Chains A and B, each alone.
Chain A
């Protein structure tokens, strides 16, 4: 087969390219044959990713249809961008967008600096044992599920049972509806995130701090810098690159709000400040059965998210280079 084809095109300008192509293809096939057990080993995983990660991507087409579960994907009517138009002209869209941005911006301003401050303070601790115990305590909440976090929040803040309200009553104050006041809902979410993840967030900064050359501290000491000035002039600048990169990557996640967190904290009293893209997709799609419309909403979120992440990664790479030089 290969020989006859070669015979036909020999002498023409593209001959060498063609042979090269054929050769690489045949060498690829022989490489596969030679390592067939290696490919066999990878096969279940590849099939898994194709079926459970890529097949759903094909399901996105229903956002351009009036999908009906009985007709299936092949027999449903095509409606073009109708669902997207409906979504963008819906007041819900601005509500979701506002809530998502507000929760993320609060996170960025109140949550983001905390792991940095916490790791700087931890780094200043002299007692090794004390430091290790504290770190163990700080990291633990990261491994608890959101259902547990919600349970603990309930136990702390609920109007009837929460210990904080019990203390308020104990001191003669009125109990405060922490969980149902829409004015503080976003702050409650941010507080939860801080309690769960701020300690865990120190790991990367502590690793960066551990990598700082000790000679820099020696030099600073020679110049008469105390510990505070060393922290300001040596430690902080040394982890600046990590801070900038994490900040940029965080910006890439602006469309995402922890679904389980918001979903669990959601209640009727705070619905207008609690609804974000994912919870909306769940409520409209799964609970009301509007599959096509909610898929369109989900697709919009995913596409914007993809653009943001790619942009953020591009910026982070550039920042990384500039940070080093």
Chain B
């Protein structure tokens, strides 16, 4: 097809403009990686490092040799794995039950769950509840307060509605009750969707910052995001982080190595996340 001159100009400009936006998007991530691999001495001595002459793994080596950093990674991994497992079990079983037409009274239960999306009592009542339950400074507090949300129940219920109820009847004839049918037949059948929901839960747990900061007091229970935030604002060298790192304030290259390690798992699951964007976009769209 022949394009007019104006259209060709537009096409070229479009390619360039979008490319530029892409560069702006990717540059901070590129730069953080570069800084983290720069030799700390070179970073200090030079004004501007856009590409290091001396590559160095010193920052990473040092980070992983501390006790605090690997511990925080472990905490975040624990939250992501155990939290996701708990979230999936509780949310999927509830959503499945609510997707079955033979479950009477599911409308009021759905309304009850919908209302929790529209109205939240705020930070303080949640905090008091966690304290009354004796969960302060426990990792379970972080898992429990974000175990499930109305959005996930709605999305999962929508998915389970596509599984015909005749399947349950067949399972019942084979001697399954609803619980065994769910775990032995429905869940294995829905594995791709469950994996997708699991990924979104896991990213949420890995990125968990505020709840962890609110409920976890002792630094040995901090997940990676909280430790990272403390490293970043720690310019004075007087805080707990410096004590745990047992040295003057963490250098810039060290901080950026920590950022890169915190980004890494997200980048690793990103291709899988991308496959399931449609569902994620749905969450975003209802949220507005």
Q: What is the interface of chain A, defined by CB distance below 8 A to chain B?
A: 28, 31-32, 34-35, 37-42, 44-46, 48-49, 51-60, 62, 69, 118, 121-122, 124-127, 130, 133-134, 136-141, 143-148, 150-152, 154-156, 161, 163, 166-167, 169-170, 195, 199-201, 203-204, 207, 226-228, 246, 249-250, 252-253, 259-260, 263-264, 278, 281-282, 285-286, 291, 294-295, 298-299, 301-302, 305-306, 309-310, 312
Contacts and interface: CB of A to CB of B under 8 A. Distances in A.
Given A40-B179, A139-B274, A139-B277, A55 B259 contact: no
A294 B124 contact: yes
12 contacts: A32-B104, A41-B93, A44-B94, A46-B94, A52-B129, A56-B125, A203-B277, A203-B284, A260-B210, A286-B124, A294-B124, A302-B122
B28 A48 contact: no
B262 A38 contact: no
Given A195-B25, A285-B124, A121 B259 contact: no
Contact of A285 (B26, B94, B123): B123
Given A49-B116, A56-B129, A121 B17 contact: yes
A204 B48 contact: no
Nearest to B27: A156
A62 B93 contact: no
Contacts of A62: 124-125, 128
A38 B259 contact: no
A57 B125 contact: yes
B219 to A, nearest CB: 16
Contact of A35 (B103, B113, B144): B103
B51 interface: no
Interface of B: 4, 6-7, 10-11, 14-15, 17-19, 21-22, 24-26, 28-29, 31-32, 35, 47-48, 89-91, 93-98, 100, 102-105, 109, 112-113, 116, 118-129, 131, 144-145, 147-148, 153, 177-179, 182, 203, 206-210, 214, 225-226, 228-229, 232, 252, 255-256, 259, 262-263, 266-267, 270, 273-274, 277-278, 281, 284-285, 288
Contacts of B131: 69
Nearest to B17: A121
A156 B178 contact: no
Contacts, number: 257
Nearest to A248: B288
Contacts of B25: 137-138, 140-141, 195, 199
A246 to B, nearest CB: 7
B204 to A, nearest CB: 10
B179 A144 contact: no
B274 A136 contact: yes
B288 A143 contact: no
The residue in A56, A147, A309 that gathers the most chain B C-beta atoms within 10 A of its C-beta is: A147
Contact of B263 (A144, A169, A199): A144
The 3 residue pairs across chains A and B that have the minimum distance between CB atoms: A45-B94, A298-B122, A59-B125
A124 to B, nearest CB: 5
